[in-house]
Amino acid sequence: MAPRWSDVLTMARRAEEVGFDSLWLPDHLIVQWGWEGSQPEGVWELWSLLSALAASTERVELGTLVACTAFRNPTLLAKMADTVDEISGGRLILGIGAGWHEAEFRAFGYLFDRRVSRFAEAATIIHGLLKNGQIDFDGTYYQARDCELRPRGPRPEGPPIMIGGSGQRMLGLSARFADIWNRDFDVWNPDVTPYSDEDLRAWTPRVDAACAAVGRDPATLVRTAGVLVDLPIADPREGWQALNGTAEEIAAGLRAYARAGFTHAQVWLEPSSLAGVEAFGEVLEALDRG
CATH number of domain containing 35: 3.20.20.30
Range of the domain at 76: 5-164
**Total-model pTM:** 0.96
| 211 inside domain | no
| 97 inside domain | yes
| 127 inside domain | yes
CA dist 259 and 257 (Å) reads 5
Q: Is the dihedral of CA 264, 90, 48, 99 positive or negative?
A: negative
**Pairing state of beta strands 30-31 and 134-138?**
unpaired
Number of domains in the chain: 1
The percent helix, strand, coil of the chain (3-state, each to 5) is: 45, 20, 40
| 281 inside domain | no
Q: Decide: 148 and 134 in contact? Cβ < 8 Å.
A: yes
| 70 inside domain | yes
CA dist 85 and 64 (Å) reads 12
Q: Decide: 177 and 127 in contact? Cβ < 8 Å.
A: yes
Q: pLDDT 10s per residue in the chain (290 long)?
A: 789 999 999 999 999 999 999 999 999 999 988 777 788 999 999 999 999 999 999 999 999 999 999 999 999 999 999 999 999 999 999 999 999 999 999 999 999 999 999 999 999 999 999 999 999 999 999 999 999 999 999 999 999 999 998 899 999 999 999 999 999 988 888 888 888 899 999 999 999 999 999 999 999 999 999 999 999 998 887 777 899 999 999 999 999 999 999 999 999 999 999 999 999 999 999 999 97
CA dist 261 and 99 (Å) reads 26
DSSP summary character for residue 243:
B
Q: Decide: 125 and 148 in contact? Cβ < 8 Å.
A: no
| 104 inside domain | yes
| 34 inside domain | yes
| 25 inside domain | yes
DSSP summary character for residue 2:
P
Burial-class residue 177 by CB neighbours within 10 Å (0-12, 13-18, 19+): buried
